[in-house]
Structure 1
Amino acid sequence: MSTPQLILASKSASRRAMLDAAGVQYDAMPADIDERVIEQNLRGATSSEIAEALSVAKAVALAGKHLDALVLGSDSLVVAGGKRFDKPTSRDDAAEHLRFFSGQVIELHSAAALVRGETCEWSHADCARLHVRELSEVFIENYLEQEWPEISYTVGCFRIEAMGVQLFERIDGDQFTVLGMPLLPVLGALREQGVLLS
């Protein structure tokens, strides 16, 4: 029996790096979905439920075009101070996000889903809590000098595998969730689907 083709419905360098390091064979293709429309239809849902729904939607967007493949969708959301944050739209916007995050706890919700055809075979969401230290204006300016525009592609304005680790004094949660995908549950689901050896 042949191993099903796996497609990662994402252009995220972090998610690709996780799968590469774990030895997973896949093709990566970005999913074209309107996240804001999906979110509007999910009013009242928790942040984890929204992240999970967006993961499913990304996978579904590609699964219909690749009927023989198993499609992995993933999404991350950031909440701080009861407010939801998207990717920064500009360097100034990123600076505003960082000023808001200073001294607060960021909740990072990361989710993943596996879809084949029109069927969601599996989905999962996880949450990590990242305690941001007090950030000075000098640090924020220097940080953006070093990390912009790379962090424009990230919710939370950080790459934990780069200088973004300096934002935090403590992190509660799984390192893979912080990187943007709950990898261990994903690997377990891929074994159940026959993509990886069990």
Structure 2
Amino acid sequence: MLPLLLASSSIYRRDLLARLRLPFNCSSPDIDESHRPGESARELVERLSLEKARALADSHPGHLIIGSDQVAVLNGHIIGKPHTFDKARQQLMDASGASVTFLTGLTLLNSQTDGHQTDCVPFTVHMRTLDTEQIERYLRAEKPYDCAGSFKAEGLGVSLFQRTEGDDATSLVGLPLIRLIDMLLTEGVIIP
């Protein structure tokens, strides 16, 4: 089996990949993650997942490189990581009673052959109707400022959900393991 490399510095993605009990290393790709004019959210995450993997291919020959990128879409607009309390509060107020769709681009690149598999895995969160006090209480408790959508689904953020919809809940956290396993199996990786 070729060695696995996760093209990410995300602790969330690292923790998810560790669930597969396969040895892997991590390296952060240095790419421009700007949204191009006219590019759909799906096109954006697919392109960025591939670019992240390709950015590490020369420095990691003979590896299977996993690239992933995620955006949250609310009312047809991409919403990013809030980074501040005020922006997070506004994102959650806007999402109150609405649906937020997370699109996660995933690429598995074989740097030995330059072959790759790329896909986009959607997952939708239908939010409860929230008031300002609930939102602020949540933000003070969890501080999800580095998370698109302003919540951590793997933590207390689940209390903000009315229901979820999608094939792979791990895609919500940023690395769709079910689809990744399919890709790894195609490359001949034996999953324990």
Fold shared by both chains (TM-score > 0.5): yes
Supply the distance in 1 between the matched residues of 2:141 and 2:85 (Cα, whole angstroms).
12
Could you list the runs of 5+ residues in structure 2 that have no partner in the other structure? none
Q: CA deviation at 1:33?
A: 1.2
Q: CA deviation at 1:138?
A: 0.7
Contact 1:48 1:126 in 2 (8 A): no
Given the alignment, which residue of 80, 83, 92 partners 2:86? 92
Corresponding position of 2:26: 28
Supply the distance in 1 between the matched residues of 2:29 and 2:23 (Cα, whole angstroms).
19
Could you list the runs of 5+ residues in structure 1 that have no partner in the other structure? none
Instruction: Using structure 1 for the length normalisation, give the TM-score.
Output: 0.89
Corresponding position of 2:15: 17
Given the alignment, which residue of 123, 131, 137 partners 2:132? 137
Q: Secondary structure at the match of 1:146?
A: helix
For residues 96-117 of structure 1, what are the alpha-carbon distances to aligned partners after superposition, in whole Å with 9 as ceiling and x for unaligned?
Answer: 1111111111011012101233
Given the alignment, which residue of 163, 168, 171 partners 2:156? 163
Supply the distance in 2 between the matched residues of 1:159 and 1:141 (Cα, whole angstroms).
14
Contact 2:83 2:146 in 1 (8 A): no
Contact 1:24 1:196 in 2 (8 A): no
Supply the distance in 1 between the matched residues of 2:74 and 2:45 (Cα, whole angstroms).
15
For residues 104-144 of structure 1, what are the alpha-carbon distances to aligned partners after superposition, in whole Å with 9 as ceiling and x for unaligned?
Answer: 11011012101233824111111111101111111111111
Instruction: Using structure 2 for the length normalisation, give the TM-score.
Output: 0.92
Corresponding position of 2:63: 69
The amino acid across from 1:146 in the alignment is A
Supply the distance in 1 between the matched residues of 2:118 and 2:22 (Cα, whole angstroms).
18
Q: CA deviation at 1:197?
A: 4.9
The amino acid across from 1:98 in the alignment is L
Q: Out of 85-94 and 71-80, give the one that drifted further.
A: 85-94
Corresponding position of 2:3: 5
For residues 28-69 of structure 1, what are the alpha-carbon distances to aligned partners after superposition, in whole Å with 9 as ceiling and x for unaligned?
Answer: 111111101xx22xx333322211111001111111211121
- Aligned residues: percent identity? 32
Runs of 4+ in 1 over 4 A off after TM superposition: none
Corresponding position of 1:146: 141
The amino acid across from 2:29 in the alignment is A
1:105-116 residue pairs with structure 2 within 5 A? 105-116=99-110
CA separation of 1:120/1:152 partners in 2, compared to 1, >3 Å: closer, same or farther?
farther
Contact 1:4 1:69 in 2 (8 A): yes
The amino acid across from 1:21 in the alignment is R
The amino acid across from 1:16 in the alignment is R
Supply the distance in 2 between the matched residues of 1:137 and 1:91 (Cα, whole angstroms).
12
Q: Secondary structure at the match of 1:115?
A: strand
